[in-house]
């Protein structure tokens, strides 16, 4: 037999409460997706820790060299203050169209 108390529970029920919880969770997810997480951006380093980038002389090629070594023949250190640190940063983009000649002078890519 259904009592008045059972009818009251059924009337208030858990469905509205579940709907409210689902709405709150959906709203929270939307806010995070549109605001807080939108500012996070993955940036890839040019070289790993313990290495530095070097430029191929006469071309746009590059490599990474151990901090304890000098660049091998055909490679040179980037000019001071013009060293790319992350893929796509100002200097990484710059060196796509520039290089060093045999005298260490910055020139446009031939």
Give CA–CA dist 108/11, Å, rounded: 77
- CA–CA separation, 73 and 19 (whole Å): 68
If pLDDT is split at 50, 70 and 90, which confidence band does 42 have? confident
39 vs 83, higher pLDDT: 83
74 against 37, higher pLDDT? 74
**Are the CB atoms for 52 and 42 separated by under 8 Å?**
no
8-24: b (≥16 Cβ within 10 Å) or e: eeeeeeeeeeeeeeeee
Q: Which residue has the higher pLDDT, 85 or 21?
A: 85
> Tokens 């890839």 label which residue?
44
pLDDT tens-place string over residues 59-106: 999 999 999 999 999 999 999 999 999 999 999 999 999 999 999 999
Q: What mean pLDDT do residues 21-28 have?
A: 72
């Amino acid at each position: 037999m259904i009592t008045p108390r059972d009818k009251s529970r059924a009337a208030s029920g858990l469905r509205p409460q579940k709907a409210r919880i689902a709405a709150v969770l959906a709203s929270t997810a939307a806010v995070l997706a549109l605001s807080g997480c939108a500012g996070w951006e993955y940036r890839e380093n040019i070289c790993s820790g313990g290495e530095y980038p070097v430029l191929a002389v006469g071309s746009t090629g590059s490599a990474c060299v151990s901090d304890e070594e000098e660049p091998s023949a055909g490679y040179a250190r980037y000019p001071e203050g013009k060293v790319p640190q992350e893929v796509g940063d100002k200097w990484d983009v710059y060196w796509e169209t520039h290089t060093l000649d045999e005298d260490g002078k910055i020139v446009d890519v031939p």
